Structure 1
Amino acid sequence: MRATESNQDYPFAATNTAAALLDGAGTIVAWTPAAEALLERRSADVCGRPAHELLADPDPGSWQAVLAQGGQAGRGGDGWEGRATLRHGSGRELEIGFRAIPLNDGVRGNAGRCLVLGAPLELVARWRQDHAFTQELFLQGRVGLAVFDADLRLLRTNTHLLPYTGVPVELKGRRLSDFLWAADARTIDDRLREVLHSGHPLIGFNTTARTLDDPRGGRIVTIQAFRLQQPDGRPMGVAAVFTDVTDHERSRGRLDLLYRATGALGGSLSVLRTVEDLVGVLAPSFGDCAAVDLVETVLSGGEPPADGHHLPLPLIRMAVAGADADALRKGTTRFAAPLATAVAHPAATGAGGSEPAGPEDRECRGELITLLGARPAEPGSDPPKWATAVPGAHSAMTAPLCARGIGFGRLTLWRTGDTAPLEPDDLALLEEIAARAAVAVDNARRYTKERRTAVGLQRSLLPPATAETPAVEAAGLYLPADADSGVGGDWFDVIPLSSARVALVAGDVTGHGLHATAMMGRLRSAVRAMADLELEPEELLAHVDDMVLQVGAEAESDAAEDADAGTPVPGGPAGATCLYAVYDPVTRSCVMASAGHPPPAVVGPDGTVEYVELSPGPPLGVGGWPFEAVERELAPGSVLALYTDGLIERGEGDIDQGMRDLADRLLRADVLGRPLREARHDIVAGLPPGRLRDDVTLLLARTRVVDPGAIATWRLDADPAVVADARHLVLAQLTAWDLDELAFSTELIVSELVTNAIRHAGGQVRLRLIRADTLTCEVSDSSNTQPRMRRARSSEEGGRGLYIVAQLSHRWGSRYARGGKTVWSEQSLPLP
């Protein structure tokens, strides 16, 4: 054994080892310097003396037994080992381990000499532990152990260094690049070289090892490495431990993939976005290509037929991802087997000798196909078409999308090129992902159905998108908010009024959902009803405000505990904003009032854009504040733009910036030179339907002017004699307009209206004819008395005037003004 513990040589090595040469009688013949240092006894003091004197127990008999054993070993043995307690030169006792090696002097029958090697017992025990540890390392098969020289050539390995296809049996003298992919070998060599040069151990380095013979997939190994040094400290090589952690890493990767896929499935309530997010996670993390096919009815919120699991159903490819996605973007595909009974391929269960699954177990099972050296679903049959859809694919698998026992699609995965083939564990993971995806898609399908119902209700409550009146050319547009926000309560309206006038409306109900849609329908109906009463804009908004307050009060007082009420429908705030404008094509004036609504934009014929300065009142439902009207004269051909805040806010900045952006959009869309039905789409370009934070409503109206030649006005005195003059004036004007067909009816209408005005109102009367899309006859007076039509009795001589007017008119009515009222009648123009 070495004289000092700093020397790491084998304890019984010849160099620096305590050794003594004994003759056949047990006398010490020679003594090494290492022995002198170990026992602190000089050679001169021990040589020539019996060896038993060095023992702590000086009984010569005990040593004679050692000699006798040595003699027997000398006659053919290779020595023996033992332990002894020696007397140290300092007087203390030293326990050592020794090995006695018999020496033959060549003379038959003579007792041989012995060479005794010794070392402290603790050091011998440690060496034996180190030896056993190293031996077991190279014998075990759980990890790979390798010793590299300074040039990173393999010196020694255990039999399980890299138990993969393509690793040679004899590795001594080889480099890793001789049997591993160049990139993988270079990665490992770089790390080992760093350990060799720096001396810092490598701990827990994960990398992929792929052999030249089987490059697909490879194995994931964790490498631990440390430097080996010579006794003088110079590096002599590197020892490395390779641990195969492929299964562990793949299991962890599968759990991570399942977690990410689940997160992607919960990111949207849109069927399309749900499956797009899913395939984006699966490719290329799980496979090189991924696709989702769905039954067409699912996209519209419908459900496959109840017997769909008995018949093949046409599928639409809805989402694809991966390097070969273009090859997957094909039209309608069809399952080769019923959706809910796709049975697992034998490759998915191993040898294919498992018991047949029961009816419940067979539902929603996946299928795994190996395309290279394929084992088809049935012997002698070709792989399904879906499996060969991707060029260069070597394996594929599919899992049906089933929820509540109904199949409505499938999830398919392909692997190509050098990636590892799909395995049964991969199929189990795909089935789990497909099960969760099916629930998410089914939830999105249900929401889509509800949303389509709500959007359908919303659109049914809106007017036609385009309108043509003598006053304006109008075009409206509505974009619902995204699926997460739900349908809102935005609306627009174009309401024809008397005397060729028109009312333009834009409104926005607070909140989203069916409650907002229903409230929007009530508000639009209320605005239309009050518009028929010919109220001024500020007065109309005041009445609508009262209605909203009443609706809110009714909602608060609704008794939820009422047994007849059933489950209450979730409600919300009853507030809304609204802009109401009335344009008169005769005077070119536009009177408007706002209830918390953004101001309209006016695009003048000269190409300038400005926003009307309004004094907006509070939103509808606040109450207690008056509304103010603003009158603005509009040049012929001006474009009036009414909108909701979703168009100018959109969460991208302040409202002022949004209004500037809208002005730019109006000019870029060329609303002055193009039909408004075309320009409206350019204004909202870049705002994808279904992905907005708030609903967007836009109403464009290009103003028109009634030709002065189509207007006739007369001032009449309050004298019954002027009634005959009024009839003559009207008949002459109708002849000038070539409307003699309406002469008789118009003469009677004018006679009745003028007579009533002179008889009941007093003061001067204004008579006006307007020829637009209809013939309007107006009689204005200074009275605020509301004319009412009644059915006269047979015995009464009068009371039939308004009844006659109603019978001869297309429609009729009256409206109030600041200076009195106007009674009007409209007649349809004769066909040309």
Structure 2
Amino acid sequence: MSSHSDGESIKRWAFEQHPVATTIYDRDGRLLFMNTSMRQATRLSEEATRGQLLTEIVQGGEYAEIVQGAEYEELQQRIFRVLETGHVESYEFFVRLASETKAHAWIVDVVPLKDEAGRIHGASVSAYDYSEQYESRERLALLSEARSHIGASLDVADTAREFTEVTVDRFADVVSVDLLGPVFQGDLPGSDPAEPVPLRRAAYRSAYSGSRGARATGELGRRPTPRLITRCLATGQAELHQVTDPDVLRWLIRDPDQEARALACAVHSMIVVPVRALGATLGVVVFLRCGSREPFARGDLAVTEDLVTRAAVCLDNARRYLRERTTSETLQRSLLPRKLPDQAALEIASRYLPAEAQAGVGGDWFDVIPLSGARVALVVGDVVGHGLQASVTMARLRTAVRSLADLDLPPDELLTHLDDIVIRLSDDVEADAAGDVGATCLYAVYDPVSRRCTLARAGHPLPTLRTPDGSTTILNLPAGPPLGLGGLPFEAVEVDLPEGSLLALYTDGLIESRGRDIDEGFDALRQALNRPTPSLEAACDAVLEALPPTCPDDDVALLLARTRALSTDQVATWDLPRDPATVATTRQSVSEKLTDWGLEELSFVTVLVVSELVTNAIRYGQSPIQLRLILPQPVAGQEGTPTRPLICEVSDASSTSPHLRRARVFDEGGRGLLLVAQLTQRWGTRHARAGKTIWAEQVLPAS
């Protein structure tokens, strides 16, 4: 045999024996030859198909029932195009051949066959089955999408829903995520997951639009947990099951609803995977494949475990965040006043809304503090930052404000002391967090006798005032620096408030929000306050309705106060000369006033208290000296029984404060304040710009 003949034989053998399935078509796109690999893959005979177009070949014989016309038609058109243009075309081809039980992924190359002159005489089609590489690529793409898509939310249910969105269709037909109950509260389940702890539905998704009967998010399973799931929780191992397995059949028999859904979707295989993070079992994920889809295989277990491991980390992060947020919010709410104190000076209503989950609970707070002389202090503050640190700082500042308020300091002086406290707090924290300690605050004191309100602010939003005549204005107060800067003064402003005025104090989260500037916030607040409402509580709701904190990134604290005033017959005032003889006439005047008020039974105690305080003012104080008795309206006591205070105040121009001491046996003085303290419920001293006031308060039943 000549070398030429040997070469021709080798070329023929190379074509016939090549492992890549190959066919050759003539100039008209009709089949000429196919190699052994193509004949074995397609179960077609070269003699029976020679001279036919591809579309004609697949329309008969074994391909009559499994043919996917669109795919073969596309290949036929590519053959024609290559014969026309002479350009090679390569693409991915998904088709099920007669020898296969499922569609495979093929790489198809359509190559023109040319002579030495470049004339096209035919085309060859080579098809390489790369299903394994394709499936591996798809698994990597699925895991990559899971890494980027799952965990965008710090909510347990949203994280579970994101997981089902990634896996349904691409990997399974139905996916459910069920978690143990404590996870939804941010806690870890017990150490023994094998115990019959009910599972709560976190997310469910089905590729079938008509799928019904799935539990709602957070709903408990209505029937005992199936054995295969409890075993999975106990062992921490994923399990692959066919629908005919005994454990699956027992589950379906005991749960008719689940059986009906399985029949409707034609479920044939399932994988159950435990959700575990840092050694703790959080729940279980169930994957189902249905209908004509290829059943799960052993190789799919590794994919599900990788997917669920990623989801478990995100679910545990969401659980931890929920626990921290719940702790912060619980601390925050426990430190805010649960019930605003009853007092005669103001009608009060309030609201507090925490920030959204992503931002975390902040340090907003408000308070209402009864002061001496029937006065009331209103406080609204906002600590920089979010989370536990902000809540703890808020608690310390709120306690400090209450302690300073007990000293009856003017608002500007109180803010000065509070500024020093914030600076000391900054020194206490770590250096890298020192810049995060700061706050804004607004402090106001309302006096129902003079109807005057004194306000000062430290970098806080301006309060809004609505007067009884219907006009609404923003009170223009000196800004003052935020707390924690130090060295800068605060200024107080006095405002006369007609009875029935409405004062609104709030934090910046109310008027500043995404998509809304501060001027728009003030306008909306003014309109809300002008809206007629049946009560102050309804007015709070109207404000939050007009300024909805949609996706708030900051807390919202709102405090509304409607002013009351004491009438002239509720206050009695005497200007006293600095003369010891005045004490006797003062006692007589007080007795007469108590008789007018119908409080004759209090005359002995009240006259004794007045005598001691006036005597001290005459002996140790400076002129002018003034005595005032105040009888406010009844307020609810600690047991809910209405009570009313009787307040006695003696003022003089001296700044020297008396102090309580125990007199020795032979001392002639030092027992006056001790008597006052024993005969009254409360007593104290408050300082003014010039002078001081000693006050004592008796609490008596309203009747």
Q: Distance in 2 between matches of 1:788 and 1:200?
A: 106
1:812-831 equivalent positions in 2, closer than 5 A: 812-831=683-702
Q: Distance in 2 between matches of 1:709 and 1:165?
A: 108
**Corresponding letter in the other structure for 2:372:** S
Aligned counterpart for 2:483 among listed residues 620, 639, 659: 620
Aligned counterpart for 1:335 among listed residues 225, 234, 240: 225
TM-score by length of 2: 0.83
Question: Residue in 2 aligned with 1:366?
Answer: 238
Q: Distance in 2 between matches of 1:587 and 1:162?
A: 106
CA contact (8 A) 1:671 1:679 kept: no
Question: Residue in 2 aligned with 1:316?
Answer: 200
Q: Structure 1 regions of 5+ residues with no counterpart?
A: 1-80, 84-96, 100-123, 344-361, 559-568
Aligned counterpart for 1:706 among listed residues 559, 562, 565: 565
- Structure 1 window deviating more from structure 2 (617-626 vs 385-394): it is 385-394
Aligned counterpart for 1:580 among listed residues 428, 436, 443: 443
Q: Is 1:810 paired with 2:697?
A: no
Question: Residue in 2 aligned with 1:218?
Answer: 103
Q: Distance in 1 between matches of 2:383 and 2:507?
A: 10
Question: Residue in 2 aligned with 1:201?
Answer: 88
Q: Is 1:590 paired with 2:453?
A: yes
CA spacing shift, 1:704–1:662, aligned 2, 3 Å: closer
Question: Residue in 1 aligned with 2:136?
Answer: 251
Question: Matched residue of 1:281: which SS?
Answer: helix
**Corresponding letter in the other structure for 2:607:** E
CA spacing shift, 1:449–1:421, aligned 2, 3 Å: same
Larger radius of gyration: 1
- Structure 1 window deviating more from structure 2 (436-445 vs 313-322): it is 436-445
Question: Residue in 2 aligned with 1:754?
Answer: 614
Q: Distance in 2 between matches of 1:606 and 1:323?
A: 63
Q: Distance in 1 between matches of 2:609 and 2:96?
A: 99
Q: Is 1:645 paired with 2:508?
A: yes
- Structure 1 window deviating more from structure 2 (612-621 vs 600-609): it is 600-609
Aligned counterpart for 1:768 among listed residues 629, 637, 641: 629
**Corresponding letter in the other structure for 2:624:** G
Question: Residue in 1 aligned with 2:661?
Answer: 790
Give CA deviations for 1:711-749 in whole Å, capped at 9, x if unaligned.
Answer: 223232314444444444444444444444544433333
Q: Distance in 2 between matches of 1:153 and 1:233?
A: 20
CA contact (8 A) 1:153 1:175 kept: no
Q: Cα distance, 1:531 vs. partner? A: 0.5
Q: Distance in 1 between matches of 2:627 and 2:93?
A: 97
Q: Distance in 1 between matches of 2:344 and 2:122?
A: 97
Q: Distance in 1 between matches of 2:45 and 2:251?
A: 38
Question: Matched residue of 1:308: which SS?
Answer: coil
Question: Residue in 2 aligned with 1:564?
Answer: none
Q: Distance in 2 between matches of 1:223 and 1:250?
A: 17
CA spacing shift, 1:450–1:413, aligned 2, 3 Å: same
CA spacing shift, 1:196–1:700, aligned 2, 3 Å: farther
Q: Cα distance, 1:322 vs. partner? A: 4.0
**Corresponding letter in the other structure for 1:437:** A
Aligned counterpart for 2:316 among listed residues 438, 442, 449: 442
Question: Matched residue of 2:227: which SS?
Answer: coil
Indicate the percent of aligned positions where both proteins have the same amino acid. 39
**Corresponding letter in the other structure for 2:632:** R
CA spacing shift, 1:693–1:752, aligned 2, 3 Å: same
Question: Matched residue of 2:631: which SS?
Answer: strand
Q: Cα distance, 1:705 vs. partner? A: 1.0
1:163-562 equivalent positions in 2, closer than 5 A: 173=52, 174=56, 176=58, 178=64, 179-189=66-76, 191-203=78-90, 205-209=91-95, 218-227=103-112, 239-309=124-194, 311-323=195-207, 327-330=213-216, 331-333=219-221, 335-337=225-227, 341-342=231-232, 363-371=235-243, 374-377=244-247, 382=252, 391-394=264-267, 395-464=269-338, 466-482=340-356, 485-555=359-429
Q: Distance in 2 between matches of 1:162 and 1:422?
A: 30
Q: Distance in 1 between matches of 2:70 and 2:22?
A: 20
CA contact (8 A) 1:222 1:245 kept: yes
Q: Cα distance, 1:190 vs. partner? A: 5.1
CA contact (8 A) 2:213 2:261 kept: yes
Q: Which structure's residues are more often helix, by fraction?
A: 2
Q: Distance in 2 between matches of 1:634 and 1:223?
A: 87
Q: Distance in 1 between matches of 2:544 and 2:632?
A: 34
CA contact (8 A) 2:663 2:669 kept: yes
Q: Cα distance, 1:781 vs. partner? A: 2.4
CA spacing shift, 1:427–1:770, aligned 2, 3 Å: same
Q: Cα distance, 1:701 vs. partner? A: 1.7
Q: Distance in 1 between matches of 2:345 and 2:665?
A: 43
1:153-172 equivalent positions in 2, closer than 5 A: 157-158=34-35, 161=38
CA contact (8 A) 1:264 1:281 kept: yes
CA contact (8 A) 2:383 2:390 kept: yes
CA spacing shift, 1:255–1:830, aligned 2, 3 Å: same
CA contact (8 A) 1:534 1:816 kept: yes
Q: Is 1:82 paired with 2:13?
A: no
Q: Distance in 2 between matches of 1:239 and 1:571?
A: 74
CA contact (8 A) 1:538 1:627 kept: yes
Question: Matched residue of 1:434: which SS?
Answer: helix
- Structure 1 window deviating more from structure 2 (232-241 vs 637-646): it is 232-241
CA spacing shift, 1:244–1:768, aligned 2, 3 Å: same
Give CA deviations for 1:248-283 in whole Å, capped at 9, x if unaligned.
Answer: 222111112122223344545543343233223223
**Corresponding letter in the other structure for 1:754:** V
Give CA deviations for 1:133-170 in whole Å, capped at 9, x if unaligned.
Answer: 4x33xx445446464885x7766545655988999997
Give CA deviations for 1:182-238 in whole Å, capped at 9, x if unaligned.
Answer: 4444554554554455443322x22432579999x7333322224568999997875
Question: Matched residue of 2:608: which SS?
Answer: helix
Question: Matched residue of 1:274: which SS?
Answer: helix
Q: Cα distance, 1:757 vs. partner? A: 2.7
Q: Cα distance, 1:476 vs. partner? A: 3.5
Q: How many residue pairs get matched?
A: 671
Question: Matched residue of 2:139: which SS?
Answer: helix
**Corresponding letter in the other structure for 2:608:** L
What is the aligned-residue RMSD (CA, Å)?
4.0
Question: Matched residue of 1:757: which SS?
Answer: helix
Q: Distance in 2 between matches of 1:456 and 1:542?
A: 30
CA contact (8 A) 1:301 1:446 kept: yes
Q: Cα distance, 1:544 vs. partner? A: 1.3
CA spacing shift, 1:661–1:132, aligned 2, 3 Å: farther
Q: Distance in 2 between matches of 1:340 and 1:405?
A: 17
CA spacing shift, 1:800–1:381, aligned 2, 3 Å: closer
CA spacing shift, 1:218–1:799, aligned 2, 3 Å: same
Question: Matched residue of 2:172: which SS?
Answer: coil
CA contact (8 A) 1:476 1:697 kept: no
CA contact (8 A) 1:369 1:387 kept: no
Q: Distance in 2 between matches of 1:171 and 1:727?
A: 129
CA spacing shift, 1:380–1:626, aligned 2, 3 Å: closer
Higher relative contact order structure (alpha carbons within 8 Å, sequence separation ≥ 6): 2
Q: Cα distance, 1:425 vs. partner? A: 2.3
Give CA deviations for 1:539-595 in whole Å, capped at 9, x if unaligned.
Answer: 001111122223334557x9xxxxxxxxxx976643222211112233332221111
Question: Residue in 1 aligned with 2:638?
Answer: none
**Corresponding letter in the other structure for 1:799:** G
